[in-house]
Structure 1
Amino acid sequence: MYSETVLSEQRTLWRSVGGSAAIIPADGCVDLIVRSGQALLCGPQTRVIRAPADVVHPTVGLRLEAGTARGILPVALSELRNRVVELRTALGSEAAAALYDLMMRASDASRPDLVLSALLVDQAEPWVTATRRLAQTGMSAREAARAMDWSERTFRRRMLKNFGYGYATLVRVERAHRARSLLQRGLSPADVSAMTGYADQSHLTREFARMVGVTPAQFSKAAKRSTLLPSGSSTVA
């Protein structure tokens, strides 16, 4: 069973108990995860992840929305892109131990937002929020850099530092997320393709499969069975 608790605009606590292996779509986020006695860091996710089943203990995670992890994780996010590593490897033993303790206490607390209050302060700089909005419109990197009044080189450097990947990848993540939302509402792949900026339905199918792990038709079928999980961790069992 999977559940989520939205703690703030940028932070979501999620929990999986007795779940089977799952396909996790690319969501551009960073996750702190406690699983089978390990504290893990899942770096910026720009491709599909195949998550193992929960064996004995629940899996508990804190999702940090795209571009908002730097305040908590002062590490080179681009080097952790699409990697899952132990927290102590990325942060050092002392910092990892503190985060591990917080995550374990939050997983059993009636008010996890209070336990994790130190992690819930808004972390995103204004330009990060603005960049995500621009990506949702499909604006090009050149136009987005101009909107920020930066050079393309400066824009890319800041994207890699705060997101862990480039602007074009963020556009792909946001577009796939929009497509998923529309398919879950029952729209046809043809309509979704036209509404989300894909060149055509074939383009939607190819890109959706890369970012979500299944085709739009398979996703729609699973949505009708209500087997999809909500938010950034939607999955097809």
Structure 2
Amino acid sequence: MQRILYIEDDQDIGSWVKRDLEERGYQVTWHLSGDGAEKAVNASDIVILDVMLPGLDGFSVGRRLKTEEPDIPVLILSARTSVDDKLQGLDFADDYLTKPFHPEELAARIEVLLRRFQKQEPENYELGHLLIYPTHNRIESRETGEEIILTGKQYHIFQFLLRHPNQILTKEQIFEGVWGESFIEGDKTLMVHIRYLREKLEKDPTHPKIIETIRGLGYRVKT
């Protein structure tokens, strides 16, 4: 899963950009300022950066991040549209997109930068006793080497949870993210799918370690 460090102080813009990118399969860490960005950048594949930030402005933050991690692309996302601002940004950044923008254009520019810098998902990674191959949509047991076959809907649910690691997701969020429809209170469809999914993924489905139930809140996959 490719990781985005997103630095934006506008709550409205930040929330919908984060949500849109997570729905596209990215893991997004959102900061409201440049504070802490230098510590977070080495765990990121790309940085999306606003210019007008509290404290240090985005140009200063971006230069520091690029000095810290020159091989991680930086995309400036700013309402400042003058040629001077763009030239100042592109002095260190790898792309500059002005607000307002269409989410499809932002997604396309992210993909171009990730390809250019060859930031790709790992061939596989471990999750408990599972070995997951994200690019091949394949899941294996590390203990037996056998492939675990999921139905299409089971895989979509699991992938949705994996796209939000360590985050508690409500039934409403999962249902709407997977089915694309509003969740109706009392509908047991998701619970049934989770039960069958656990029977395939968990060592002991009655005491799940992969897909945790957070009582009264929802579900979580811990990584």
For normalisation by structure 2, the TM-score amounts to: 0.35
- Larger Rg, first or second structure (1 or 2): 2
More helix by share: 1
For normalisation by structure 1, the TM-score amounts to: 0.33
Larger relative contact order (C-alpha < 8 A, sep ≥ 6)? 1
